[in-house]
Amino acid sequence: MELIHELKLRYKNLDILSQFIVLMTLCFILPFILNTFLFLFNLKNLSIVDFFDVSPLLSELLYKPWSLITYGFFHADLWHLISNMIIFYFSGKVVLNLFGKDKFIKVFIIGLLSGSITYLLSYNIFPVFSGLKPSMIGASAGVMAVFIFLASYSPNYTFRFIIFDVKIIYLALILIAMDFIQIPVGNSGGHLAHLGGAAWGYYYCSQVKRGNDAGQWVINFMEYLKGLFLKKRNVNKVYKRKNYKPTHKTSVDQQKIDLILDKISVSGYDSLTKSEKNILFKAGKN
């Protein structure tokens, strides 16, 4: 149990980019484990991923609307995951450092949404896809949104490739061109979704430069969901219900937590004592 507590604390102490990467890695591994149990119980036709992938069938969207976002946290194979996470990490780290957590979330999450909507519209509008209803998974649309956002904001930013530097704008143009010309070749829906994500990254960057924020609704919606699924302690209500006055204990506990967080920032999580880890874990549950 203590190991689980430590893993939870370590996860909470990660930045949002690292948390997304960990979550997507778990979403890649866990279906294999669950599918083994489904096989043993002769439920081979049931797949956990089916509850989270996005389909061009509008009837499926009605009973799993979350799939417009959740498809991005699952990947078809190891290379699919690794290639996305490499681009995501190096471009996402810069975006996160420059613009902070909220804007990073807006770029990535709405990038996923733009990708799935582009995919849905394409398969229901273009005659070439008539009768074809493949499902889609993968974070590429969100990753492209982050990458193109950075390329649009700072086109001269360079990535180091062994012995030479390459400007991000050239890499962005190459990725967009490759997705466009590969639409007739295979994985058409995936390439169209990438372009949908890229379009959002470019558009959102143009809005940010003008001082507009077109993605605040995502943060508001996430806060709403958090309020539904996470229990928050309301200190004032507790005091009123139990009919006693607050003491200075809460402020003392907060001081302890602040000191522990300062220690983590200086020496890392491993420097904490067992007692300090327990205090932090209990605080995280409240």
Q: How many domains does the chain have?
A: 2
State whether 171 and 280 are in the same domain: no
Tell me: pLDDT of 195 over 60.
yes
State whether 225 and 239 are in the same domain: no
Domain that holds residue 276: 235-285
State whether 10 and 152 are in the same domain: yes
State whether 6 and 125 are in the same domain: yes
Contact (Cβ atoms closer than 8 angstroms) between residue 172 and residue 149: no
State whether 81 and 195 are in the same domain: yes
pLDDT at 21: 97
State whether 31 and 168 are in the same domain: yes
Please state, for a pLDDT cut of 70, what percent of the chain lies above it: 84
State whether 196 and 259 are in the same domain: no
Q: What is the pTM of this model?
A: 0.81
Condensed to tens digits (0 to 9), the pLDDT of residues 56-94 reads 998 899 999 999 999 999 999 999 999 999 999 999 999
CATH number at residue 101: 1.20.1540.10
Stretch 177-191: mean pLDDT: 95
